[in-house]
């Protein structure tokens, strides 16, 4: 039920430059639809249950306004958040360069050594205007210990996977071994 917080509720925030397709990924995932119109987002929250390894996780998906290097990270995007979807467009090198800036802002703000996150190369259908190759995306993800995928909201390719992989990253942190067997700080902040 929307608005109900259970033990399994997970808060996911979507960040990235303006117009990279953040809202379109959410719309395709939640409503199975795509629009060519562009309406800048202010800040919207949608709820959808994601099933992962047989368990249901009601997810609060927070779609944010486009970030630039001067944007201050809103505290709502750092506190009580379980996982992040960091989106760039494969057709925009500038939006790709913003990902490390946004990642560093979250780390600085939260004070955590790392976060549960997936980096997403969106608009994967725009092959002809590609400015970021897949290897660059994968390397960035490796460097920051996040997951990575390319997706197209237009073609509904890998959209469900974006959210499933984000949940997998969150739950990876929650199943970290106890201190005696090599403790790793959880990759999420639960408050
Ligand atoms: N070709 C293509 N266009 C897309 C895709 N996803 C989104 N778009 C288009 O890109 C534009 C911006 O999409 P939005 O989803 O509004 O982008 P956003 O990142 O939420 O934008 P802000 O709210 O400003 O941050 C729209 O015109 C979409 O139709 C995609 O997968 N392929």
* Bridge pairing between strands 43-52 and 55-64: antiparallel
Centre of ligand 1 to C-alpha 173, Å, is 30
Centre of ligand 1 to C-alpha 112, Å, is 30
Q: Is residue 67 part of a domain?
A: yes
DSSP string across 121-165:
EE-TT-GGG--S-HHHHHHHHHHHT-EEEE-BTTTTBSHHHHHHH
Beta bridge partners of 177: none
Q: Which pLDDT score is estimated for 5? A: 61
Q: Is residue 147 part of a domain?
A: yes
Q: Is residue 93 part of a domain?
A: yes
Whether ligand 1 lies within 6 angstroms of the CB of 66 is answered as yes
Are 57 and 50 in contact, with CB atoms under 8 Å apart?
yes
State phi, psi for 190 to the nearest 5 degrees.
Answer: -110, 120
Q: Is residue 55 part of a domain?
A: yes
Structural domain boundaries enclosing 86: 10-181
pLDDT tens series, the chain, 191 aa: 455 666 789 999 999 999 999 999 999 999 999 998 888 877 889 999 999 889 999 999 999 988 887 888 777 788 889 999 999 999 999 999 999 999 999 999 888 889 999 999 999 999 999 999 999 999 999 999 999 999 999 999 999 999 999 999 999 866 544 333 333 344 444 44
Q: Is residue 188 part of a domain?
A: no
Q: Is residue 16 part of a domain?
A: yes
Q: Which pLDDT score is estimated for 3? A: 53
Ligand 1, atom 1, residue with closest C-alpha = 123
Q: Is residue 190 part of a domain?
A: no
Helix axes 134-144, 93-110, angle to 10 degrees: 10
Q: Is residue 5 part of a domain?
A: no
pTM (2 d.p.):
0.89
Domain count, the chain: 1
Whether ligand 1 lies within 6 angstroms of the CB of 30 is answered as no
Helix axes 159-174, 22-31, angle to 10 degrees: 90
We report the CATH number of the domain holding residue 69 as: 3.40.50.300
Cα dihedral 73→74→76→81 (10° resolution): -10
Helical ranges in 35-189 per DSSP H: 93-110, 134-144, 159-174
Whether ligand 1 lies within 6 angstroms of the CB of 125 is answered as yes
Q: Which pLDDT score is estimated for 21? A: 97
Whether ligand 1 lies within 6 angstroms of the CB of 22 is answered as yes
Q: Which pLDDT score is estimated for 183? A: 35
Are 22 and 29 in contact, with CB atoms under 8 Å apart?
no
């Amino acid at each position: 039920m929307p608005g109900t917080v259970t033990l399994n509720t997970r808060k996911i925030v979507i960040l990235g430059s303006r117009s990279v397709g953040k809202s379109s990924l959410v719309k395709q995932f939640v409503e199975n639809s795509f629009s060519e119109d562009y309406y800048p987002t202010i800040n919207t929250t949608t709820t959808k249950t994601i099933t992962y390894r047989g368990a249901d996780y009601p997810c609060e998906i927070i779609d944010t306004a486009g970030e630039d290097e001067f944007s201050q990270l809103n505290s709502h995007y750092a506190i009580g958040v379980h996982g992040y979807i960091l989106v760039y467009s494969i057709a925009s090198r500038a939006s790709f360069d913003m990902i490390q800036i946004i990642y560093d802002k979250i780390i600085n703000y939260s004070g955590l050594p790392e976060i549960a996150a997936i980096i997403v190369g969106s608009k994967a259908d725009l092959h002809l205007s590609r400015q970021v190759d897949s290897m660059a995306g994968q390397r960035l993800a490796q460097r920051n210990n996040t997951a990575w995928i390319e997706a197209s909201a237009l073609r509904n390719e890998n959209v469900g996977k974006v959210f499933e992989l984000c949940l997998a990253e969150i739950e990876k942190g929650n199943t970290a071994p106890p201190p005696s067997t090599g403790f790793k700080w959880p990759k999420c902040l639960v408050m």
